[in-house]
Amino acid sequence: MRKNWDLYFLDIAHEVAGRSTCLRRAVGAVVVKDKRIKGTGYNGSPAGLPHCLDEGCAMLEGHCIRCIHAEPNAILECTPDERQGATLYCTDKPCPECQKLIITSGIKKVVYSRDYHAHTDWFSLATDMEVVHMPKKDEEA
């Protein structure tokens, strides 16, 4: 059976996560518009700075603050026009800070595999945002 577009691009996000330099969780993201990839990103340190793989995680209140999340890295590769009405495919549900960035960027749909339970779900307040949870078969609970 042929894979649908959402599964196709979500699988690509999982491949992109393979470039992550985070020791805690590898996350990948892909921005797609009109069935064309506009940007990809993975969680890792800012360009030119040490990576968690090299120096360990920089922990603050239970979170590593060394890495830039995959979602902003993917969004930074896109022009504003490419983001408007686009879909973000991500291995994990974006955290609250990334959710606000995604909403503001003009992306209108988010498809993710692994759930992330956070204190706030900004997506639930965005009336024009479509959010789809598509767990990978080997990750279903």
Show which residues are catalytic.
71
Burial environment of residue 51 by CB neighbours within 10 A (0 to 12, 13 to 18, 19 or more): middle
Q: Are strands 28-33 and 36-42 parallel, antiparallel or unpaired?
A: antiparallel
Cβ(39)–Cβ(30) under 8 Å? yes
